[in-house]
A and B are shown apart, each in its own frame.
Chain A
Amino acid sequence: MTNITSRHEGAAGDLTARALREALYAGLISLGLFVLFVGLKSDQNIRNELILVPRWGLLAIFVVIAMVGRFLMIAYLQPFLASQKVVNAATGMLPDSMASRFFRLPFFIAAVVVSAVMIAAARGLPDNIAAYATIIRGLAIIYSLACLFYMFRIFITTHFTVLAVAALVLYPIVIVAIFGAQGSLKWVDNFGIQILIYVMLAWGLNIVVGLAGLLDLGYVAFYAVGAYSYALLSSTFGLSFWVLLPMAGILAAFWGMILGFPVLRLRGDYLAIVTLAFGEIIRLVLLNWAEVTNGAAGISGVAKASVFGIWSFDVSAPNNFAKAFGLPMSSAYYKIFLFYLILALALLTAFVTVRLRRMPIGRAWEALREDEIACRSLGINTVTTKLTAFAIGAMFGGFAGSFFAARQGFVSPESFVFLESAVILAIVVLGGMGSLVGIAVAAAVMVGGTEILRELEFLKHIFGPDFTPELYRMLLFGIAMVVVMVWKPRGFVGSREPTAFLHERKAVSGSFTKEGHG
């Protein structure tokens, strides 16, 4: 008996010693990594010379965080996760029963109470304390929402499509009811429209990457083709949005075929790099062909979309929407209209994708993704299969592009850099290639999450007035890409419903499906 306890103590001592040692290493490595870049900042002085500004305090914080994090991970988190596995095995619960221990009714009630108290208390507090209250409130609200999702998960998963569409349709109405017409702008535009554009782009790219397995790193080129064809044709010929929307789609699809044709023989990484090159070539041509595209300055004053030509959103037009209905003038109506427009376009994309997957062409795409050689030997024409995938994917990119031009009223090559392609591809992969729901969730998390940073003004009270959270947007996006990829390489939704099946429909783990070598 004594033996056993002493062995336990010995193990615990070993663990602490190991954790301390690992923490020391982590501290040294992070010191090495950050000493030049965080510890010193190259800044310009008044005479425009570079000087160094030391920031040793910040460096110390980085190193301490690395050490403490590593220590906690080795000493507590890893043993805890290991013990949870034992508990799972002993109780016969599934691995996801961790969640049932994390989301409990008492905790939920506590979180609701905390958020209510924080909302009530925040009014009377000074700014810097209120900032902390806001953080706690935010965390409590997120936790209670997650709890709600978890408690009603079965209901939500069975009725997901209906619920999601209903929530999205009601979203602007609810927002207007809460914040008023002017206050709703930010929520409808920055969150609603912005996220839905990415959802649509990612769903369009999903046809190419997720279904046909053709890794495309230049998807933003088709977005650019759509945006520029709307901007140029509407300003040159005065055509309306509703004529140009299909036209932009057709033009983008055409470009998809043109760019798809040379790369038919390529596979995997090489395909990715060539499409990246094509995307960059298109952007550079848009940038340098100033006679047509107006170069880096871009095209401004792009016409707004109208409600099928019946009501316009131009302030001076006689059939202005607000005037027609006797409403006070506001730019919110246009944004709400755009929200429903992009929602309809995105749903169209999803509908087409779902339908195509049941058709021979969709089956051929998925077969191509799994094994190109088997596909060819079974008599599938890989040329047309690949070209249709490129064309249809590009078409939705073109739709999204013309929508983008109508929304911004301005297009320039700046909006179509490689980073955008990378972001869209990241959303597709992080969502779980081929899974429409997963991709929508990934878009909401990644794009919405980075948009939320703009809203974190209260952090200025904690980190000082120079702190601008939106600077960290892309840094966090990149880190999130890496973390999600390492943690869940198959994306948020790692399983796929097969479209073709024998006897019964069984969801397969994403690990069994191959990514494209086509």
Chain B
Amino acid sequence: MEYFIQQLVNGLTLGSIYGMIAIGYTMVYGIIGMINFAHGDIFMLGGFAALIVFLILTGLFAGIPVVVALLIMLIVAMLMAGLWNWTIEKVAYRPLRGSFRLAPLITAIGMSIALSNFIQVTQGPRNKPIPPLVSSVYNVFGISISLKQIIIILITVVLLSVFWYIVHRTPLGRAQRATEQDRKMAALLGVDVDRTISVTFVMGAALAAVAGTMYLMYYGVVVFTDGFIPGVKAFTAAVLGGIGSLPGAVLGGLLIGLIESLWSAYFTIAYKDVATFSILAIVLIFKPSGILGRPEVEKV
């Protein structure tokens, strides 16, 4: 039983990371109907930004408190990933917005290849390990919960609340929801659609960067290929929860995290990615609208 609960805790931590990436996928899909394939690499980029900021901080101010360091890492990574995604959207996706449906997907795949190889070329192909930032572990009723896990879950909860507030309670969020429902109508009613889409990309990237920072802190290592597998898993989470639905993305992320850690705990760890991919295929085949998504009505 303790083992099971231990796996639940691990799964929730992992799921929080996936959920935060999944939001970026689901928002972009909701608003312009495009699978932003490069989103996983934005996550990786965020991780690298955090890594470099960490190295700067430990190099310049040796005794910096961990909380401050983590906060600076988070903020810089968010800004960095936001700027990258903003530029990418402007340069690569916006010119193709009126084009046929495959075009943005192909461009996004190209962008994903370019981004991961950009990091490989500029930062080197090796794993980048860092010393553990926080290492305390608490023992609660026989279950060990590390401070890292608490921080990750806490930051996820806080950020998602902020995010929920932005989307549901601010004019910006209203513009986003309007654009998602009907882009042309929103434009006619005075919503700056281009700006709204840009902001959506920036927000998604910022959350992915937070996930990247958390990932770096949790595993203590980041490498340029890290965008692909977590990216696909987060996409699976978005699909599982119902693509286009924000609570769905978080729910899907948590479920994928739980499934992955329970599968690794009770079955073979070698096939854990097969499990995720199978879920992705099964959900898309049998229930493409996911758990919380609206079914897509086809108009002839």
Residues of A that sit less than 8 Å from B by CB: 29, 32-33, 36-38, 40-44, 50-52, 215, 262-263, 265-266, 268-270, 272-274, 276-278, 280-281, 284-285, 288, 373, 418-419, 422, 425-426, 429-430, 471-472, 474-475, 477-482, 485-486, 489, 514-517
* Stretch in B52-60, B145-153, B162-170, B257-265 touching the partner: B52-60
A481 touches B109 (CB 8 A): yes
B280 touches A277 (CB 8 A): yes
Q: How far is the CA of A266 from the CA of B130 in the complex (A)?
A: 44
Q: How far is the CA of A489 from the CA of B76 in the complex (A)?
A: 35
B48 touches A270 (CB 8 A): no
Q: How far is the CA of A269 from the CA of B108 in the complex (A)?
A: 13
Which residues of B, 54-107, contact A by the 8 Å Cβ criterion?
Answer: 55-56, 59, 76, 80, 83-84, 87, 91-92, 95-96, 99-103, 105-107
A482 touches B59 (CB 8 A): no
* Stretch in B15-23, B178-186, B189-197, B268-276 touching the partner: B268-276
Known A42-B52, A478-B114; judge A269-B105 contact (CB<8 A).
yes
Q: Separation in Å of the B57 CB from the closest CB of chain A?
A: 11
Pick from B45, B123, B270, B277: contact of A277, CB below 8 A.
B277
Is B14 engaged at the interface, CB distance under 8 Å to the other chain? no
Q: How far is the CA of A44 from the CA of B128 in the complex (A)?
A: 8
Known A482-B110, A489-B96; judge A52-B55 contact (CB<8 A).
yes
28 cross-chain CB contacts under 8 A: A36-B48, A36-B49, A36-B52, A37-B49, A37-B119, A37-B122, A42-B55, A42-B124, A50-B130, A52-B59, A215-B102, A269-B35, A273-B280, A274-B284, A277-B232, A281-B274, A285-B274, A419-B113, A430-B106, A472-B117, A475-B113, A478-B110, A478-B113, A480-B110, A481-B109, A485-B106, A485-B110, A489-B103
Known A277-B281, A471-B120; judge A429-B114 contact (CB<8 A).
no
Q: 6 smallest A-B Cβ distances: which pairs?
A: A481-B110, A478-B114, A478-B113, A475-B117, A277-B277, A482-B110
Is B235 engaged at the interface, CB distance under 8 Å to the other chain? yes
Known A37-B118, A270-B288; judge A284-B271 contact (CB<8 A).
yes
Residues of A within 8 Å of B59, CB to CB, are: 51-52
Q: Separation in Å of the B39 CB from the closest CB of chain A?
A: 13
Pick from A51, A52, A274, A480: contact of B281, CB below 8 A.
A274
B278 touches A281 (CB 8 A): yes
Q: How far is the CA of A419 from the CA of B115 in the complex (A)?
A: 13
Which residue from chain B places its CB closest to the CB of A516 in the assembled complex? B102
Is B188 engaged at the interface, CB distance under 8 Å to the other chain? no
Residues of A within 8 Å of B208, CB to CB, are: none
- Of B56, B84, B281, B300, chain A has the most CB atoms within 10 Å of the CB of B281
Is B201 engaged at the interface, CB distance under 8 Å to the other chain? no
Residues of A within 8 Å of B218, CB to CB, are: none
A42 touches B118 (CB 8 A): no
A478 touches B239 (CB 8 A): no
- Of B59, B103, B106, chain A has the most CB atoms within 10 Å of the CB of B106
Residues of B that sit less than 8 Å from A by CB: 35, 45, 48-49, 51-53, 55-56, 59, 76, 80, 83-84, 87, 91-92, 95-96, 99-103, 105-107, 109-115, 117-124, 126, 128-130, 228, 232, 235, 239, 268, 270-271, 273-274, 277-278, 280-281, 284-285, 288, 300
Known A51-B55, A481-B113; judge A33-B87 contact (CB<8 A).
yes
A44 touches B126 (CB 8 A): yes
Q: Separation in Å of the A361 CB from the closest CB of chain B?
A: 23
Residues of B within 8 Å of A425, CB to CB, are: 106, 109
List 15 additional A-B contacts (Cβ < 8 Å) besides A274-B284, A422-B109: A38-B122, A41-B124, A42-B51, A42-B123, A266-B285, A266-B288, A269-B35, A278-B277, A278-B281, A281-B274, A281-B278, A284-B274, A418-B228, A426-B106, A485-B92
Chain A contact surface mostly: helix
Chain B contact surface mostly: helix
Residues of A within 8 Å of B274, CB to CB, are: 281, 284-285, 288
Known A273-B235, A485-B107; judge A50-B129 contact (CB<8 A).
yes
Known A475-B118, A486-B96; judge A266-B124 contact (CB<8 A).
no
Q: How far is the CA of A33 from the CA of B82 in the complex (A)?
A: 10
B107 touches A481 (CB 8 A): yes
Residues of B within 8 Å of A43, CB to CB, are: 124
Q: How far is the CA of A451 from the CA of B124 in the complex (A)?
A: 21
Q: How far is the CA of A303 from the CA of B281 in the complex (A)?
A: 36
Residues of B within 8 Å of A471, CB to CB, are: 120-121
Residues of A within 8 Å of B100, CB to CB, are: 489, 514-515
Residues of A within 8 Å of B268, CB to CB, are: 288
Pick from A288, A430, A475, A515: contact of B101, CB below 8 A.
A515
Known A41-B124, A419-B113, A475-B121; judge A280-B232 contact (CB<8 A).
yes
Residues of A within 8 Å of B103, CB to CB, are: 485, 489
Which residue from chain A places its CB closest to the CB of B131 in the assembled complex? A49
Which residue from chain A places its CB closest to the CB of B88 in the assembled complex? A482
B239 touches A273 (CB 8 A): yes
A486 touches B52 (CB 8 A): no
Known A269-B35, A285-B274, A489-B103; judge A42-B110 contact (CB<8 A).
no
Q: Separation in Å of the B88 CB from the closest CB of chain A?
A: 9
Q: How far is the CA of A491 from the CA of B284 in the complex (A)?
A: 29
Which residue from chain A places its CB closest to the CB of B108 in the assembled complex? A482
Residues of A within 8 Å of B284, CB to CB, are: 266, 270, 273-274, 277
Q: How far is the CA of A21 from the CA of B93 in the complex (A)?
A: 24
Pick from B52, B101, B112: contact of A40, CB below 8 A.
B52
Q: Separation in Å of the A378 CB from the closest CB of chain B?
A: 14
A262 touches B281 (CB 8 A): yes
Q: How far is the CA of A139 from the CA of B228 in the complex (A)?
A: 37
Residues of B within 8 Å of A485, CB to CB, are: 92, 96, 103, 106-107, 110
Residues of B within 8 Å of A514, CB to CB, are: 100
Known A37-B119, A486-B95; judge A479-B235 contact (CB<8 A).
no
- Of A41, A43, A489, chain B has the most CB atoms within 10 Å of the CB of A489
Residues of A within 8 Å of B228, CB to CB, are: 418
Pick from B115, B128, B285: contact of A42, CB below 8 A.
B128
Q: How far is the CA of A426 from the CA of B99 in the complex (A)?
A: 16
A280 touches B277 (CB 8 A): yes
Residues of B within 8 Å of A480, CB to CB, are: 110
Q: How far is the CA of A322 from the CA of B191 in the complex (A)?
A: 74
Pick from A37, A278, A430, A481: contact of B123, CB below 8 A.
A37
Known A50-B129, A262-B281, A475-B114; judge A37-B107 contact (CB<8 A).
no
Known A262-B285, A489-B96; judge A274-B280 contact (CB<8 A).
yes
A268 touches B101 (CB 8 A): yes
Which residue from chain A places its CB closest to the CB of B104 in the assembled complex? A485
Q: How far is the CA of A277 from the CA of B239 in the complex (A)?
A: 13
Residues of B within 8 Å of A50, CB to CB, are: 51, 55, 128-130
Q: How far is the CA of A239 from the CA of B35 in the complex (A)?
A: 44
Q: Separation in Å of the A9 CB from the closest CB of chain B?
A: 32
A280 touches B273 (CB 8 A): yes
Residues of A within 8 Å of B130, CB to CB, are: 50
Residues of A within 8 Å of B106, CB to CB, are: 425-426, 429-430, 481, 485
Which residue from chain B places its CB closest to the CB of A37 in the assembled complex? B122
Which residue from chain B places its CB closest to the CB of A262 in the assembled complex? B285
Q: How far is the CA of A273 from the CA of B111 in the complex (A)?
A: 17
Q: How far is the CA of A270 from the CA of B286 in the complex (A)?
A: 12
